[in-house]
Amino acid sequence: MDWQDIIFKFVGGLGLFLFGIKYMSDGLQKSAGDKMRGLLEKYTSNPILGLLVGVGVTVLIQSSSGTTVMAIGLVNAGLMTLRQAIGVIIGANIGTTMTAFIVGIKIDDYALPIIAVGAIFLFFFSKKKLQYIGQVIFGFGTLFLGLSTMGSGVKPLSSLPAFTDFMIQLQDQPVLALLVGTVFTLIVQSSSATIGILQTIADEGMISLMGALPILFGDNIGTTITAVLASIGATVVAKRTALVHVIFNVVGSIIFMLLLPLVHSVVLWLGEGVNIRMQIAYAHGMFNTTNALLFLPFIPVLAWIVTKVIPGKVQEIEFKAIYLDERLLATPAVAFGQAQHEILRMGQFARETLNDSTNFFFSRDAKVGELALQKEALINELNRKITDYMVKINQQNGLSEGQSEKASGWFQLINDIERIGDHAENIVELSEFSINKKVDLSKEAGAELKEMTILADKTVEKALFSLEHNDAQAAQEVLDYERELDEMEKKFRKNHIHRLNQNQCSGSSGAVYLDILSNLERVGDHSKNIAQFVIHEEELLKK
């Protein structure tokens, strides 16, 4: 027996299989992923709808992990509750069974022509949409090529007494088979891959359906460990979400193990006349669908359990648009007033994001940095919602000429506020670079940055105050602060060059220092734009 050939084919085939799944998933996400986040946010108002959306999104992007990550992100952003996320995650577990059904379709012989079609789309078409389609087709073909390679690699093992004895032992000891599936998925870090391997081994006649079922259930438990590992050091919400995933699969596995003979009979009845690969896919689908139906009525209880098991105060960010009411669009002037209130809320979050980002730089507290990024993502989300709302107001044609001009000015302010959030995000990224590369500033450089961050915050605060109260005097103070920021930036740059010449700081620390100076100066510029708008409005009123 050529062990080198077996190992090389199995490992290489597994690599091709994993690459095929990942490449296909990436192609699907590029073509549809941007719309998926909005779908998750918009259509998860109740658990059943959340489950259906979770199924649909996972089938479309071929990644339950991707769906779960999006759900966690929306929970962190305050755009989805934990209960809604549970519905989505349960649905994602159903959606991920699609991979097993794809593997169940025995088209290994056509893997190479499928790859060729994918390559044509990838290399002979310039349109991005067609290239993404090519990526999906190429990944689909590679997935089956990997399965075929793995199958030819493990086939000689069927004549090895030690291997066949072990497989017989697994059939006689379901609990051991469950543990094998769990551990194998933990090692490979992909339930789709381990279930694909199980389907391949079963297809080669090395294990019966009765022996494969406990391994399948173990694969489902193993994939939860991946989620647990990913949640280490993450937010409380992420840990609770991971625990939901664990409870869902562990409890489901216990129930199905207790009913193993019945499950075996049902799968044989459902999969009568189909290959064993498809029978395993049926079992996988039945496991997750039955589990979902069992857990769906108990989502509130599940949310309560994980909250009690993992205590801790969640930093809740209420960032749903509270002023933008579609019903008010019939009265454009009133709707415009509501939009102004929402823009001011957005501005307050921009200021908070700036404060969190600079605090992260000095404190190196990862939670503060994460909070800044969450708020920045929310600013982007609110930016989109306000912009859409303002466009709808303009389409009503119910504003006077003066109101329309004023609305155009406020429309521009949205961009300035959003850009303040972007500069705060840049500071977070620079802070992460400093932590990862162990970059330290000199005492003088640190003191200068603190001085400039205080002034930048004061500038943003005063700009928002002038906007809220239409205070031209406060706006004039903003212009003074902005000039001071410009002068401060020039002065500190000269100081930095002097320190470089004196070898008081390194090139890396200097680059970080200068980039933060630049971002703070740009924050001042956007605050200045807000102030100039207020002054312009005041001048128009006087005429």
Please indicate, yes or no, whether residues 252 and 396 belong to a single structural domain of this protein. Answer: no
Q: Are residues 262 and 403 in the same domain?
A: no
Q: Give the separation between CA 365 and CA 349, rounded to whole angstroms.
A: 19
| Rounded Cα gap, residues 39 and 284, in angstroms | 26
Query: Which of the given ranges, 19-23, 95-99, 453-457, has the highest pLDDT on average?
Result: 453-457
CA 418, 423, 426, 427 torsion: positive or negative?
negative
**Whole-number Cα distances in Å, 471 to 21, 406, 475, 538:** 58, 16, 6, 8
Together in a domain, 304 and 340: no
pLDDT class for 7, splitting at 50, 70, 90? confident
Is the pLDDT reported for residue 356 higher than 90?
yes
Statement to judge: residues 218 and 263 lie in one domain: yes
CA distances from 84 to 25, 74, 145, 304 (A): 24, 10, 38, 13
Residue 534 φ/ψ, nearest 5 degrees: -60, -45
> Within this chain, do residues 272 and 371 fall inside the same structural domain, yes or no?
no
DSSP 350: H
d(CA 186, CA 410): 53
Three-state SS string over 229-271 comes to HHHCCCCHHHHHHHHHHHHHHHHHHHHHHHCHHHHHHHHHHHC
Q: Are residue 392 and residue 260 in the same domain, yes or no?
A: no
Counting Cβ atoms within 10 Å, is residue 126 exposed (0-12), middle (13-18) or buried (19+)? Answer: exposed
Other residues' Cβ atoms within 10 Å of the Cβ of residue 501: 8
Verify that 397 and 304 share a domain, yes or no: no
- Which region holds residue 62: left if phi is over 0, alpha if psi is between -120 and 50, else beta? left
- With beta carbons less than 8 A apart as the criterion, state whether 316 and 378 touch: no
Query: What residue has token string 């086939």?
Result: 155
pLDDT range class, residue 167, cuts 50, 70, 90: low
Residue 44 domain-assigned (yes or no): yes
* Domain boundary pick from 309, 338, 369: 309
Q: Are residues 211 and 338 in the same domain?
A: no
Tell me if 230 is assigned to some domain: yes
Please state the domain count of the chain. Answer: 2
- pLDDT tens digit sequence for 180-213: 888 877 776 667 777 877 888 888 777 888 888 9
Structure tokens at 110: 């056509």
pTM: 0.59
pLDDT per position as a tens digit, 28-57: 666 655 555 556 656 566 677 778 877 877
Q: Considering the chain, what percentage of its residues have pLDDT values greater than 70?
A: 82
Angle between helices 82-95 and 64-76 (to 10 degrees): 170
| Domain containing residue 387: CATH number | 1.20.58.220
Rounded CA separation 207/212 (Å):
6
174 with 205, same domain: the answer is yes
Q: Which residue has the tokens 């391997």?
A: 197
Taking only the tens place, the pLDDT of each residue in 374-410 is 788 888 888 988 998 888 888 877 677 777 778 888 8
Tally of CA atoms within 13 A in the half-sphere of 169 that contains its CB: 9
Environment class of residue 401 by beta-carbon count within 10 Å: exposed (0-12), middle (13-18) or buried (19+)?
exposed
Largest alpha-carbon pair distance within the chain? 97
Token duo for residue 339: 């939009």
Do the domain assignments include residue 317? no
CA angle 168, 173, 176 (to 5 degrees): 105
Domain of 382 in residue numbering reads as 326-542
Same domain, 30 and 93: yes
**Is the pLDDT assigned to residue 449 strictly greater than 70?**
yes
Residue 314 belongs to a domain:
no
Measured over the CA atoms of residue 311, residue 316, residue 322 and residue 326, the dihedral's sign is negative
Per residue in 62-113, pLDDT (tens digit) is: 666 667 666 665 665 555 677 777 888 888 888 878 777 777 776 777 888 9
Q: Smallest Cα–Cα separation from 279: which of 105, 145, 31, 525? A: 105
